[in-house]
Amino acid sequence: MILTVTLNTALDLTYRVPALTPHASHRVTQVIERPGGKGLNVARVLAALGYETVATGFAGGATGAMLRDLLAETPVRDELVETAGPTRRTVAVVDTASGDTTQLNEPGPAVTPAEWTAFRTHFTTLLDGARAVALCGSLPPGIHVGAYAELIRLARAASVPVLLDTSGEPLRRGIAARPDLVKPNADELAQLTGAREPHRATSDARRRGARAVISSLGPEGMLASTPEGLWRATPPAAVKGNPTGAGDSAVAGLLSGLVDGTPWPDRLTRAVALSAATVLSPVAGEFDASAYEGLLTRVTVTEEPVSP
């Protein structure tokens, strides 16, 4: 099975309105509720692709109970750890006229030292039988910035490949623990390395400890610095829609490729196609299956020269 970790889970609410106008009242035409947070989005995409998937992290309060009820309707196995604090909500307001999305993210609940200890114990147990693990998203209040580095070391001790998708100081600490993959976007990579040029930034990040670094370049696709070389994957054209969860779908593509042992060009093709197909879906954590199949044959992957 594939294990995903979402320490700061969320109940995702998507509101669709005819047009979003500042300082105005709006009539919502559709409300969609989904279990959310980056790792849960990854888990749902993996499950939709046919992989046995287990989700862990934290959930608490009435919002957490609602999240778990919704998760129970999916093929993802719920191994979340209970917290006293309530799970946060995130709100995506989709302007159906323009296709633009406005995102509002609440802070997460404060996690106590006892709850973190309980989670670490549970995580270690779940590593037994895991083929790969994804550590995704922000850290809720109360959890130290080296938490992902700690989990990476536990996964490495269990010989389980690990992908890290976070930002800021948790990314800086985590990459030094030598994960197999990290997937920052261009801004997160620039914050980590101080470099804006994609080739230099990905190579610099890899020298900091990660085995492979895959930089998300938004509508321009992905750049991957790997032990086998430097690769760029580009979608056929920019797609318009709800971008929420597109990066999480890319993580699902990369992680499934890691588990399958597919060559890097195929992994990147899968990741970029899933990302674009998610933009075409109305809610995070889902992708347009027919669009995905069509995009698989239209993503361009080229090997880039490696700077000396």
Contacts of 123 (CB under 8 A, 6+ apart): 5, 56, 151, 154
The residue written with tokens 């609410």 in the block is 13
Res. 295: pLDDT tops 90: no
Res. 4: pLDDT tops 80: yes
Res. 241: pLDDT tops 80: no
Count CB atoms within 10 A of the CB of residue 297.
9
Tell me which residue of 120, 128, 127 sits closest to 146, measured CA to CA. 120
174, HSE (Cβ side, Cα atoms, 13 Å):
31
Average pLDDT value for the chain: 91
Q: What's the pLDDT tens digit per position in 276-289?
A: 888 887 665 688 88
- The pLDDT of residue 286 is 82
Q: What's the pLDDT tens digit per position in 103-160?
A: 889 888 999 999 999 999 999 999 999 999 999 999 999 999 999 999 999 999 999 9
Res. 242: pLDDT tops 70: no
For the chain, give the longest Cα–Cα distance.
Answer: 57
Is beta strand 222-226 parallel, antiparallel or unpaired with respect to 77-78? unpaired
Token representation of residue 299: 């993503």
> 97 near 73, Cβ under 8 Å?
no
Distance CA 292, CA 191 (A): 31
Token representation of residue 259: 């588990």
Q: What's the pLDDT tens digit per position in 35-63?
A: 999 999 999 999 999 999 999 999 999 99
Catalytic residue chosen out of the listed positions 95, 248, 266, 288: 248
pTM for this predicted structure:
0.91
Distance CA 197, CA 190 (A): 8
Distance CA 224, CA 242 (A): 24
Let me know if 204 is a catalytic residue.
no
CA pseudo-torsion sign 13, 16, 17, 19:
positive
The DSSP secondary structure of 110-173, one letter per residue, reads PPPHHHHHHHHHHHHHHHTT-SEEEEESPPPTTS-TTHHHHHHHHHHHTT--EEEE--HHHHHH
Alpha-carbon 22 to chain mean position: 30
